[in-house]
């Protein structure tokens, strides 16, 4: 245990994902020795990102406006919606330049171990969007791991009765990993070769 505010800093850093107690200490001591101007910049950007960035009211992508730049872009095809788990998956798919439709960000995947069920994800909001009959295809692009599979299976059951074209990314993605870890070529190919979801 350290003195007052230093311990507070370690505690706060330790609550971040992927930062264990050891990592929190390492970052804290790095900050204590860093140039005050550098630390100020970090503090400012943390405050700024929370003040400026919100979630798109349509697709729940990260956005600096009420609607994200993809939803508000008239060149993006509104008839195809690609369903992903997280914002970082949108970034990964955008990098492939293979997809010209729109997105729906679920905000995670079904994971009973972590206490995340379908009701914690933005599935209700997806169903509301699909009530708009402009949508003709839904691409399920959840991660190629257990949680992603469980989420896709749940969505297939929910969406099948709507009679839309339901597709999934072609195989070839690294199994067990995150979508974002796939290289652009592999992900682009999986997109182009997408298959009917069963
Ligand atoms: Zn959006």
What is the C-alpha separation between 176 and 105, in angstroms, rounded?
20
Residues of the chain with pLDDT under 50: none
Q: How far is the CA of 73 from the centre of ligand 1 (A)?
A: 9
Tokens linked to 126:
């997806």
Q: How far is the CA of 56 from the centre of ligand 1 (A)?
A: 5
Question: What pLDDT was estimated at residue 41?
Answer: 97
Residue whose token pair is 């469980």: 150
Question: What pLDDT was estimated at residue 176?
Answer: 66
pLDDT digits (tens, 9 = 90+) for 133-190: 899 999 999 998 889 999 999 999 999 999 999 999 876 666 666 777 778 888 888 8
Q: How far is the CA of 71 from the centre of ligand 1 (A)?
A: 4
What are the residues whose beta carbon lies below 5 Å from ligand 1 (ion)? 56, 58-59, 61, 68, 71
Please check whether residue 156 is in contact with residue 142, taking contact to mean a CB–CB distance below 8 angstroms: no
Instruction: Using DSSP, state whether 76 is helix, strand or coil.
Output: coil
Helices (H) and strands (E) in the chain, counts: 7, 7
Question: What pLDDT was estimated at residue 181?
Answer: 73
Residue whose token pair is 């798109």: 56
């Amino acid at each position: 245990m350290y003195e007052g505010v230093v311990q507070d800093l370690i505690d706060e850093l330790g609550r971040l994902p992927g930062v264990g107690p050891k990592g929190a200490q390492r970052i804290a001591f790095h900050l204590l020795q860093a140039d005050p101007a550098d630390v100020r910049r970090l503090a400012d950007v943390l405050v700024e990102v929370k003040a400026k960035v919100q979630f798109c009211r349509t697709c729940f992508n990260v956005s600096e406006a009420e609607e994200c730049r993809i939803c508000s872009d008239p060149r993006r095809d509104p008839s195809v919606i690609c369903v992903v788990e997280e914002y970082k998956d949108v970034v990964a798919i955008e990098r492939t330049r293979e997809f010209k439709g729109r997105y729906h960000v679920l905000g995670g995947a079904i994971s009973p171990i972590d206490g995340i069920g379908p009701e914690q994800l933005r599935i209700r909001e997806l169903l509301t969007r699909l009530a708009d009959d402009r949508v003709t295809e839904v691409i399920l692009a959840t991660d190629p791991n257990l949680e992603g599979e469980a989420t896709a299976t749940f969505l297939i059951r929910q969406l099948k009765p709507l009679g839309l074209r339901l597709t999934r990314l072609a195989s070839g993605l690294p199994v067990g990993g995150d979508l974002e870890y796939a290289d652009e070529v592999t992900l682009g190919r999986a997109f182009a070769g997408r298959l009917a979801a069963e």
